[in-house]
Amino acid sequence: MSLTHLISIRDLDYREAITLLDTAEQMAATQSRRVKKLPTLHGRTVVNLFFEDSTRTRLSFEAAAKRLSADVINFSAKGSSVSKGESLKDTALTLQAMGADAVVVRHSSSGAAHRLAHAGWMNLPVLNAGDGTHQHPTQALLDAMTLRRHFRRDASDPNTDPVAPGTDLKGARVVIVGDVLHSRVARSNVDLLTLLGAHVTLVAPPTLLPVGVDQWACDIDYDLDHAISTEPDAIMMLRVQRERMSAAGGGFFPSPSEYHAAYGLDRQRFDRLPEHAVVMHPGPMNRGLEICAEAADSARSVVVEQVSNGVCVRMAALYLLLAPEGTSRD
């Protein structure tokens, strides 16, 4: 694979996406062993550079790097010299000087990961762990891995060519619900799931859809009950990003209870989902707002599975970007 960074799903072609997902499956196979650690990245150093809060992404990138035997340096903007005004550029130069071999970055500004990778400040692979409202590529990959495990087209079907673009998740129908406007998860998922052949419908109030969404490769529905009546295979509830709403002055919906009534996955809607449908959420969940506890904790919720798959996807991304050509992955 010729990738030097992982900044956006839009940088991937079909084969590269499949290579990442197949490699993640190979990594998953190693994670059921008693000894989970692989020697692949021994002697390499991965820096986790987090300018925004994170639980799942930061911890799973750390776990992924450590399972590949890399050394990990965790940098959090809180408590660092960023509070004294240090720039992204000077932070990058400092990391390179400390001998980093790859940088994982989360930043509140859309485009920060691209800038770090392409500004010429340093010469290291950059993995985007979420930039503003733009992209969160490893989240989309872990979501696709989760969906593949439930709905992947039967590879033995003689009527389809398994390597033809768009066949991997062909026929899978995914409904993504909620705060699309602020969601890098929604953008990344629309890009990746449609690349893999799935059909995606976004459901949101008009105030929570971005300008230009009609150009995206998906359908739009303003009515969650209608979207559920189409019998999707998966429903992905998005977090209502109240921190970005208050920064923008609020006013995106009348009240939390009205949002929940119109766009929450409540008990009644959950009961109307097809029996085979899975419930997804990237986390962290606002229980009682976008999703009820019964749905979040049900046997059809794959939220915990998504987190486990996140470690495997991040192992795959680090392996493909950092391991020398021909290095064994087991």
| Sites of contact with ligand CP (CB under 6 A) | 54-57, 130, 139, 282-284
Name the residue number minimizing CB distance to ligand CP: 57
Nearer to ligand CP, 205 or 282 (CB): 282
Q: Give, as one character, the DSSP assignment of residue 315.
A: H
In the complex, the smallest distance separating the C-beta of residue 52 from ligand CP, rounded to whole angstroms, is: 8
Cis peptide before 39 (omega within 30 of 0): no
Closest contact distance (angstroms) between CB of 8 and ligand CP is 15
Closest to ligand CP by CB, 99 or 111: 111
Closer CB to ligand CP, residue 256 or residue 283? 283
Alpha carbon distance 38, 329 (integer Å): 8
Could you tell me which of 139, 88, 77 has the C-alpha nearest to residue 114?
88
Nearest to 176 by CA among 165, 191, 186: 186
Nearer to ligand CP, 101 or 131 (CB): 131
Provide the minimum distance between the beta carbon of 282 and ligand CP in the complex, in angstroms, as a whole number.
4
For ligand CP, the closer CB: 228 or 240: 240
CB of 316 to ligand CP, least distance (A): 17
Q: Which is nearer to ligand CP, 127 or 228 (CB)?
A: 127
Of residues 132 and 197, the one with the C-beta less far from ligand CP: 132
Count the Cβ atoms, other than its own, within 10 Å of residue 32: 7
Q: Please, are residues 329 and 166 in contact by the beta-carbon 8 Å criterion?
A: no
216 neighbors 163 (Cβ within 8 angstroms): no
Question: Whole-number minimum distance, CB 213 to ligand CP, in Å?
Answer: 21
Sheet holding 234-237, edge to edge: 219-221, 199-203, 173-177, 234-237, 278-280
Residue 84 tokens read as 């004294």
Distance, CA of 56 to chain centre: 10
Residue type, 146: T
Q: Minimum distance from CB of 268 to ligand CP (Å)?
A: 27
Of 139 and 146, nearer to ligand CP (C-beta) is: 139
E strand spans, the chain: 45-50, 71-76, 102-107, 126-131, 173-177, 199-203, 219-221, 234-237, 278-280
CB of 75 to ligand CP, least distance (A): 15
Please return the burial class of 275, using the count of CB atoms within 10 Å of its CB with bins 0-12, 13-18 and 19+: exposed
> Shortest gap between Cβ of 135 and ligand CP (angstroms)?
12
- Answer yes or no: are the C-beta atoms of 226 and 133 closer than 8 Å: no
Min separation Cβ 266 and ligand CP, Å: 22
Q: Which is nearer to ligand CP, 117 or 140 (CB)?
A: 140
Residue 93 CA to chain centroid, in angstroms?
27
